[in-house]
Structure 1
Amino acid sequence: MEPPVGGRGLGGLFPPDLAGYHDGAEVSLPVALELVRAMLRDQGAWCRLEAGDVFTVHVGWDQYVYVGSDRLCADAVARTRELGLFPEPMTTSPYAAELEEPDVTEAADEGFWARVRTALASRQTVLLEERFVHNAARFHRLTPENLDAVRTGLGPRALLTVWPDLNPDVGAVLAALPEEGSAEFVWEAQDGTIRHAIVDDTEYQEFAALVAGARAACALPTYLDERHPLLCAALPDRDGVLRARW
């Protein structure tokens, strides 16, 4: 195994907070080439590179590269063979988004935010999970007072999941972790920041020491069929159309 690469291979391509790295983001050709390299090196980042129906590049989990074009590329195919690689024709990429069934089809429109406000009216505080790419997320403790500010700062096309608020009895949350398997542990540190980590049953004791002093916490299931949030929707584009493919 290669040693882990900080920033999932995105260092120098995007800011440390990954602003600009989201579904639908436009990138330059040099950045696109570096993203392909990062995926081939298995550095952590993964994305589909697409220019509408004109050109696509997908990197598979097996590190096969699937290049799609709206025209024949005989010279490119010949050059690829000269380099010692083995291009083969295919009708479609197995990683085409159209082949996947979406998990979420509801748009986070004004109706969604009205339901969030209703939840806040009864609960006062809820936890918002903002998943701006598939394997990265931010968490926010929503209140009636900060809802609009948090909403303004959400990443484009993010998947939004609303959960009950963090529990101030951190010890009880730790004690309720599954005896086998893993969970996503979310906690509010003493400085007020919300942090999260995937922890499995072999790490509980060490992890309890890490979160000592936390103000509040919760444990979320890691398996999709075990997750039962209050609300879930994806952010539409500015024209109101939901194009995010979750």
Structure 2
Amino acid sequence: MTKTALITGATSGIGHATAFEFAKHGINLVLCGRRLDRLTTIQKALEKLTHVHILNFDVRDKAETLKAIASLPEPFKTIDILINNAGNAHGLDPINEGSLDDWDAMMDINVKGLLYVSSAIIPQMTERKSGHIINIGSSAGKEVYPKGNVYCGSKHAVLAITEGMRIDLNPYGIKVGAINPGLVETEFSKVRFKGDKIADSVYKGFKALQAEDVAEVIYFVVSRPAHVNIADVLMFCTAQANSTILKKDI
């Protein structure tokens, strides 16, 4: 039976790569994102491989999120796999110099947005007593590094929520897990450094994880037999030992 996956943050990075990986394996897709032009482009590319529906909304907006998911047409209403991927980092400041707007953006997207989308999808999973939820965390959810403060806090929250979900949804046979990547070469740093040129140097001198590397792990997790749940994955590129130790060739 063909499954349907809903992916947030599908217009770039890990979400985009996961959409392509899932499409290769014939999984039907509901792709969510803020940039309609990108969603449309991805939809056209992937419709050759599978059935695709797009939802254009911002996970920070509770009403918009619930309305968008409620609008799914019948062929896409049953979500078997939820990939809570939408997330971001804003700024890299010590706590005493941090921006309240940056803090709001990180908590609203990384934590509240994840909860809004999950709230819209979980009831149908509990009713069917089946489903699989994967929350995209970060190595920043495992340890705190200098100037990481609120971003690390948001990703620690993702891991706590993931564990809570797994406990609460256990009676319903729903799988819940987290994928926690270290440095992944995506638009992430451009957002974090707000377009500053320093973003270009983040991935120089070593081979960072690529979005496709993470997407392959996500597909591995969702393709396990019914009795197997991969609860937690921490993945680094070979050059990275933890959040602060990185082997660079320059």
Normalising to structure 1: TM-score of the pair?
Answer: 0.27
> Highest Rg: 1 or 2?
1
Q: Which has the higher contact order (CA 8 A, sep 6+)?
A: 2
Q: Which has the higher helix share?
A: 2
Q: Which has the higher strand share?
A: 1
